[in-house]
Amino acid sequence: MGTTKYPEHAVADARAQAVLDRLRAADQAQRDAGLPQSQRTRNITAPTGSFLYATARATGAKRIFEMGSSNGYSTIWLALAAREQGGWVVGSEILPERVEAANRNLAEAGLAEVAEVRAGDAAALAADVDGPLDLVFIDAEKDDYGRLFLAVIDHVRPGGLVLTDNVVSHDCTAFQELVRSRDDVVTVTLPFERGIEFTVKR
């Protein structure tokens, strides 16, 4: 596959790897330039992407929903896993220009047949995604995590996963207290990269 700036990207084929490299470099450049959050794509880290891929593969997830796709960097990781096991990914993004960018990036990565990003509020879109869902990835505004979780959890199959990013790098106390107050899930905070809440539906 050749060399890549981000070793985690080596799990992808050359076509997807090139897109992952480009998006990761662009995101890092935005951070290095000190752009405000509202102007950044705010992608997950490459190790987090590799974790998503590995988790989806290990659990055999075929029906995957992403709440907060930005320009599709994380969606590509999920789609790479879904493609290998005959599944699909539906992403969601509230900013129309990023929806367009995400779907262009998925097509460029050769993944348009197994993944798409839809425009709109993730909580509203959750009701229209064919379920039951095997895996949900939440990476949106942190103060919205609780609302998004409540909108999707009933669509997750027993034994299915909800993975939520940034629970260590940001104050997600209210969200974590909400999840821990429920008896229909088991949840663990993983201190990996920016922190992932690993929640299993009972």
pLDDT at 1: 39
Structure pTM?
A: 0.96
Distances 156 to 43, 121, 125, 130, 144 between C-alpha atoms, Å: 24, 18, 14, 10, 19
**Mode of pairing for the β-strands spanning 88-93 and 196-201:** unpaired
pLDDT at 3: 53
- DSSP lists the bridge partners of residue 135 as 64, 161
pLDDT at 116: 98
Least Cα distance to 117 among 70, 50, 57 occurs for 70
**Mode of pairing for the β-strands spanning 133-138 and 88-93:** unpaired
Which domains, and CATH codes, for the chain? 44-201 (3.40.50.150)
- Interatomic CA distance for residues 112 and 108, integer angstroms: 8
Mean pLDDT by groups of 10 residues along the chain of 202 residues = 77 97 94 87 96 98 98 98 98 97 98 98 95 97 98 98 98 98 98 98 98
